[in-house]
Structure 1
Amino acid sequence: MSSLEKIAARRAELDQLAEALAKQLAEVDAEREELAVAERVLRRLYEQEAEAAAGPDAGPPQRVQVAGRPVLKVPHRSEVPDASALPADYQRMLEIVKAAGGPVMVKDVGAELGIEVAMPGRLEPLRGKLSKLAGRSWLHKVPNGTFTSRL
């Protein structure tokens, strides 16, 4: 192999390495941008909570702003003394599940709330809310998809 062939081969190796590094750098930059957005959202939430705590209303805020849109805040059970810190519709869901006395299906909670359970897709937002309550330790989600009270 001549010197020119060795140089050309090495240049090809370096070109491949540069291409791989450029791709990796693009992935790192994309992840850094995602982290910056997440950091801004969390800072905004923390600022809003601090403002609400300093204000005349000592309770946790019921709505916060994320990307300029109001979003309900559902606190983790360990963060607040009782269910009165939850938004009213979430309190009602807890009452329905507790009154059932055992595992309750989403459609049963929906029927109690007056949601038209026969319509496809009507229960998905409710399922999300119940799952959020379970994720924040207010309810227990049974593997078969039903919910029980933890209170």
Structure 2
Amino acid sequence: MQERQWITDRRSELDTLAEQLTKQLQEVQAERDELAIAERVLNRLAEQALADAATVAPASAKVAGRAVLLIPHRGDAADEGALPGDYRKILAIVREADGPVQVRAVGERLGLDASVRGKLEPLRAKMTKLADRGWLHKRGDGRFTARP
């Protein structure tokens, strides 16, 4: 007789535990559903923030596995704030000059070792890129002026 009572009591305990676990599982599933919705909302907000930032900040792309900064065309950008900092410095130096400037003079103002030609080539490439995008004008003699 005791064994039957023990079995009945144990079955009752397990039924109660099963009800509690079922309720807890439903609560967990409801919270997981809420988290999935929150994650979708956050992803949409992040995508929108990236899209908004892309209109303000320069875009980057991958070339040969390396991140490369894309310099916007002058007409596409609201102002020079869309340019990366080093490009803004170059533009400011050229604008401050009384006339056309050589890459060497800009390099000296930036603190580059102008006596080593190799040190100026990356700067020349940046200035040429600014000219190609309409921010600077590259003259036939290789010097640069600021566009009005």
TM-score, with length taken from structure 2:
0.62
Contact 2:94 2:146 in 1 (8 A): yes
Could you tell me how far 1:64 is from its partner in structure 2? 2.4
Q: 1:54 aligns with which of 38, 47, 51?
A: 51
Could you tell me how far 1:58 is from its partner in structure 2? 4.7
Percent identity of equivalent pairs: 48
Contact 2:58 2:71 in 1 (8 A): no
Q: Does 1:103 align with 2:100?
A: yes
- Aligned-partner SS, 1:144: coil
Change (3 A) 1:142 1:55: closer
Q: Does 1:123 align with 2:107?
A: no
Unaligned runs of 5+ in 2: 1-46
Q: Which moved more, 1:54-63 or 1:69-78?
A: 54-63
Q: 1:139 aligns with which of 118, 130, 136?
A: 136
Could you tell me how far 1:112 is from its partner in structure 2? 0.2
Aligned residues: 102
- Aligned-partner SS, 2:101: coil
Q: Please tell me the root mean square deviation across aligned C-alpha atoms, in Å.
A: 2.1
Q: 1:113 aligns with which of 110, 113, 128?
A: 110
- Aligned-partner SS, 2:94: helix
Residue 25 of structure 1 corresponds to none
Could you tell me how far 1:109 is from its partner in structure 2? 0.2
Q: Does 1:76 align with 2:73?
A: yes
Give per-residue Cα distances to partners, 1:55-113, cap 9 Å, x unaligned.
56651344322332100110000111110000000000000000002100000000000
Residue 90 of structure 2 corresponds to 93
Name the aligned partner's letter for residue 141 of structure 1: K
Runs of 4+ in 1 over 3 A off after TM superposition: 50-53, 55-58
Give per-residue Cα distances to partners, 1:32-73, cap 9 Å, x unaligned.
xxxxxxxxxxxxxxxxxx977535665134432233210011
